[in-house]
Amino acid sequence: MFLKKIDFISPEITLYYKGSLSHSSIISGIISLIFCFIMICISLYYFLMLIYRERDSPKVTNNNQYVEDAGIFPLNSSSFFHFISFAATYNHSSLYNFDFTVFNLIGLETYSQNYESDKDLKKYNHWLYGYCNKEIDIKGIENLVTQHFFTTSACIRKYYDSSTHKYYEVGDKNFRWPVTAHGTFNPQQQFYCIILIKCEQNILNNIFDKGYTCKNDEEISEITKIPSNRVEIHFNFIDHYVDILKYKEPIKKYFNRIESTIDVENYSINNIDLNKYSKWNNI
């Protein structure tokens, strides 16, 4: 009988029984048929999950490993975009406009201590920050920039080349973006340092053609000396995470933020260490 022939549950016997190696039965055959059907269904279920990448697919793990050369990442909208915003509270009302007549922002390719030792900007390649421009700064990431205060925040506007002693605006053929490159332990490591300083008129003149004058020391000190006032600088930057359920576009971008409170007697230093996802595998 057909069911007896497919029975693989019944134990073998040492003597043939009516031409068979086991004492087969109809019940054992039915159970064997059901077992085969279940195995086929389970195999098909997991096969379809693998093909169609369904929500209930197997879990995903990521594996971090050391990379000798992490690559080059420009600090613009194609990679590690950032902007710096100003948040101040005066008598329980909030202001978000970055005030360049109070503070200036400088980007350097060297350690801040090197600049602090002589404060001679002309010796270093550097970048100056001015007001952000939606038409120039966020190409390709327009959907991520939803902050209403973006255009009153600070973005890179000019690059100073210490070899030519000239400033170049974003879009100029001689302009170049700062980069973070190769990795912390690589001998060719490149990093980027941003310094917030009290407004200097010569820097202000290089950012804006005219119409801006630095506030005097008394006006600047008024901003932070009153206990009820809270002044913060927000460093907003593009961060990434892996969405394990989005197989076609697993790398997701979002804005992260580091906050620093301004204190006339102290200053803070923030460091950002980047991890590069080298592998992510299905298991």
Q: How many CA atoms does the CB half-sphere of 77 hold within 13 Å?
A: 16
Give DSSP secondary structure letters for 41-70: HHHHHHHHHHHHT-TTPPPEEEE----S--
| pLDDT for residue 206 | 92
Whole-structure pTM value: 0.72
Domain ranges (residues) in the chain: 2-52, 72-276
Distances, alpha carbon 124 to alpha carbons 51, 127, 189, in Å: 54, 10, 17
Q: Report helix, strand or coil for 154.
A: strand
Q: Average pLDDT in the 83-96 region?
A: 70
| pLDDT for residue 241 | 80
Tens of pLDDT, residues 175-226 = 999 998 888 788 888 889 999 988 999 999 999 877 889 998 888 777 766 5
Round to whole Å and give the CA distance between 100 and 71. 34
| pLDDT for residue 153 | 94
The strand pairing partners of 128, in sequence order, are 106, 158
CA angle 143, 144, 150 (to 5 degrees): 105
Q: Report helix, strand or coil for 261.
A: strand
CA angle 220, 221, 226 (to 5 degrees): 125
Written as six digits, the tokens of 3 are 């069911």
Q: Which letter does DSSP use for residue 190 in this model?
A: B
**Which residue do the tokens 């980027």 mark?**
192
